Amino acid sequence: MAQPPPRKGAYNKTVSNLHKEQLANIQAKNQQELDLLDDIKAFMKQKATIEKNYAEGLLKLCSVYGTKKIAIKLGLDSNQGEDSAEQDDTSSGDQNIFKVWKRVLEENEKIANLRLAAAQVFQENISDDAKNLRAAKNVQAKNI
């Protein structure tokens, strides 16, 4: 004897369970993405703080060593302008160690200022973008 066809109620129950399982999977994936966005936001805030502290420390270090009057102690002309210093470097071909030191300090100041700008971008833009994306995904998840 052949078995009777499956009842309509059992089919509906199977489909309903399948939909519930898929919905749970989607919600779990969405929650993982929201957690990742929170981690990205926290990471970027901490990175911005570290970059800012490093840049401020580097600027302070450069200003401390830049204000020392090494050139005057050794009898070098401290009133010499940037243009004349560059002309002397190119015309004579020899580099004075103190000119090199001054250039090192200036380049480190530039790097510190760039790091400060990068820290500001990290703090303002990237962190805010992650926050806005998280809010949008949260709204989208509620619509599911």
> Which of 51, 29, 26 has its CA nearest to residue 127?
51
Mean pLDDT, the chain, whole residue set: 80
Per-residue pLDDT, 4: 64
What pLDDT is attached to residue 70? 64
Residue 139: predicted pLDDT: 86
Asked if residue 116 lies in contact with residue 52, where contact means CB atoms within 8 angstroms, the answer is yes
What local confidence, expressed as pLDDT, does residue 35 receive?
93
d(CA 49, CA 69) in angstroms, rounded, equals: 33
> Could you give the percent of the chain with pLDDT greater than 90?
35
Closest C-alpha among 52, 25, 10 to residue 141:
25
Residue 73, Cβ density class (10 Å: 0-12 exposed, 13-18 middle, ≥19 buried): exposed
Per-residue pLDDT at 16 exceeds 50: yes
pLDDT at 85: 47
pLDDT of residue 22: 93
Query: What's residue 140's pLDDT?
Result: 83
pLDDT at residue 126, rounded to an integer: 82
Mean pLDDT, residues 99-128: 89
pLDDT in tens, 46-102: 999 999 999 999 999 998 888 876 655 555 554 454 444 454 544 454 568 888 888
